Structure 1
Amino acid sequence: MQRSTFVRSAAALAIAAASLGAMAQGGYPGKPIRLIVPFPPGGSVDYVARTISQKLSENIGQSVVVDNKGGASGTIGTYEASRSAPDGYTLLLVFDSHAVNNSLYDIKYDTFKSFDYISLIGTMPMALVTSKKSGFTSTEALIKAAKAHPGQINYGSSGVGGSNHLNPVAFARAADIKLTHVPYRGGGPMLSALLAGEVDMVIGSLPTVINYAKSGQANVIAIGTRERIRQLPELPTIDSGVPGYTAQSWVGMMAPAGLPKPVSEHIQSALKKTLADPAVKSKMENDGFNIVNSSPAEFEALVRKESSRWAEIIKAENIKVD
């Protein structure tokens, strides 16, 4: 009799503990989750969102709906996320531009205080890509033409201050050439302009340009890593023509500041499982994405470091938003 009472009591305690856990999370998740992508469809951040959303939905326990809110180098969608309730039903994917927008825009949110950092999802090597119309098939040929015709070669970007803008600025500084910047409203429009020959070159993240290399729609002529990569072993590195030059971009997940700890941990666990899923992992890595899945503190530390680094270049080059 005493044993039966003990078993019933233990069972009751277990149920109570589970109920308290659910209450602590507010029954999370009890409805679909919005994943804000602060850029139009077609770019690097959108690629990550579309790649992980289905498996993330399974692991988090609710539908994860991708919501593209592009404009102003990601600041419009990011601001919208910052004003959302910190309940786990609004998540945000950010690009490396998140680390520089506070140096360029009069933003209405704080890069660090307005958000809880969830995880750095991963990094992507950048690739130097030229349009078929330009005729440039090597870094050396492009630099030679740029030296002969200063300012006549242009490059596209996904907006002022994004990696597609700042990495070519750093490239031009290192190669001692002058290039003309043509900004677009996101990575998708930028790549469309490249394919149409409206711009001569871009420095874009590998996952968004790798198919152009495989299909021959554009000239993917060099990679921003220090060594050649297994996905495209025939590609030389950019620093073979511009010694010491490297370029990479990154994508991470954040949420409005103030998430309850159980909710934050639930999201982190679901994201970790998603990025470890064989199908997701294989696709992203084959497309040139290096999965990191960091801790929140590691992610925030990276953003702070990048913010300081690019702020110096922005000031030195007097880069401003028109």
Structure 2
Amino acid sequence: MPLFRPGRRAACLAAALACAGPAQVLALEAFPARPVTLIVPNPPGGSNDVFARAIGKRLGDALGQPVVVDNKAGAGGSVGAGLAARAQPDGYTLLFVSSTYTTNAAIQTGLPFDPVHAFTPVAMVAKGPMILTVNNDLPAKTPQELLALAKSQPGKLNYASSGVGSINHFATHQYAQVAGVQMTHVPYKGMAPAINDLIGGHIQVLIASGPSILPTVKAGKVRALGVTSATPSAVAPGLAPLAATGAPGYESGLWWGILAPAGTPAPVVARLNTEINRILGQDEIKDLLLREGAEPDPKTADAFGAQLRGDIEQWRRIAQQANIKAE
């Protein structure tokens, strides 16, 4: 499908060229004329890296130029994001981000970029629910029973997270807040020790991503009660949304998307958005995402931007209310 209706494309391109700087003129005239760099601000091997490489390979095929994935890990993702923010806004440098970008933006100070204004949203790639799980010995077989137990023992149930200010810390705090219960937060340095202590009964509750916790659920070592998404998810068939089981209006989850430096020409963003959304319709990509606990979530660039800004505002509000600060 063309980006512009016949007759309008030339006029829109001419207007854009008239207002653009030299780098933008080149981008608009022949994008892409050289390889595109997709910065992943995380080490190789995680979901961000896996998704970026799968999308990048197919995006390169669609554009006729390679998309080179460049892992720039460090400082919770701010090293890679800072590099991308300082790049020329010509479409040749992109940044692959996840929902962690918004939680970091909510609690980290002194970032080398403005998390709201330094980037132009390009495309949402995927979304995935998190799973509410409990220790097998806890006498709660449903979310309603868990909430009733928590209400009868304010503050006595412990919930784990992979660290202060992590997405599952925010998600569990938000869940307790919406449901009107009090639980005690126990932060861990990573998900593996948190899961081990959930199995051992040292903590009672954990909200975690599908890939990190579902193997333990399937092995019968912990019990899954529900999903954090607003609707049922193919990632965890048979589990109901927590919003429908005692926490009305609650929704949280993981997402992945692509940003570009602020000022990237709109026609370039539109081209990238169109191609990425087409890629998300491919069965091979759908299968890969599902194996990694996610589902395609194609959106317009504007819709993705609205979600990103909304998440940052929400997490900042919760961080202020709960005094959640980066360690």
Alignment TM-score, normalising by the size of structure 1: 0.74
CA contact (8 A) 2:188 2:194 kept: no
Could you tell me which residue of structure 2 aligns to residue 295 of structure 1? 300
1:234 to 215, 219, 238: 238
CA deviations on 1:146-182 (whole Å, 9 max, x unpaired) are 964836624123x543421211111232241222241
Give the letter for the 1:196 counterpart: N
Q: 1:257 aligns with which of 242, 257, 262?
A: 262
Query: Counterpart in 1 of 2:84?
Result: 81
Gaps of 5+ in 2: 1-24
2:319 alignment partner in structure 1: 314
Alignment partner, residue 280 of structure 1: 285
Letter in 2 for 1:112: V
CA contact (8 A) 2:106 2:313 kept: no
Residues 274 and 216 of structure 1: CA distance in aligned 2, closer, same or farther (over 3 Å): farther
CA contact (8 A) 1:122 1:293 kept: yes
Corresponding residue for 1:119?
123
Pairing 1:54-133 to 2, within 5 Å after superposition = 54-60=57-63, 61-67=65-71, 69-72=73-76, 74-106=77-109, 107-130=111-134
The secondary structure found in structure 2 opposite 1:197 is: helix
Query: Are 2:72 and 2:79, in contact at CA under 8 Å, matched by a contact in 1?
Result: no
Partner residue of 1:271 out of 267, 273, 276: 276
C-alpha separation in 2, matches of 1:288 and 1:41: 18
Q: Once the two structures are aligned, what percentage of the paired residues are identical? A: 26
> How many residue pairs were aligned?
294
1:183 Cα offset (Å): 4.8
In 2, the alpha carbon distance for the partners of 1:135 and 1:70 equals 41
Q: CA RMSD in A?
A: 3.5
User: Which portions of structure 1, spanning 4 or more consecutive aligned residues, are displaced by more than 6 angstroms?
Assistant: 131-137
Distance 1:284 1:102, change over 3 A: closer
Q: 1:7 is matched with which residue?
A: none
TM-score, normalising length: structure 2: 0.73
Confirm or deny: 8 A CA contact 2:127 2:295 kept in the other structure: yes
Native 8 Å contact 1:121 1:293 kept in 2: yes
Distance, in Å, in 1 between the alignment partners of 2:180 and 2:88 is 46
Distance 1:84 1:99 in 2: 21
Amino acid aligned to 1:49: A
| More off after superposition, 279-288 vs 164-173 | 279-288
Larger radius of gyration: 1
* Equivalent-residue separation in structure 1 for 2:310 and 2:180 (angstroms): 25
Gaps of 5+ in 1: 1-20
CA contact (8 A) 2:132 2:228 kept: yes
Equivalent residues of 1:124, 1:289 under 8 A apart: yes
Does 34-43 or 131-140 show the bigger shift? 131-140
Query: Which secondary structure does the structure 2 equivalent of 1:252 belong to?
Result: strand
Output the CA distance in 2 between the equivalents of 1:70 and 1:120.
23
1:168 matches 2:176: no
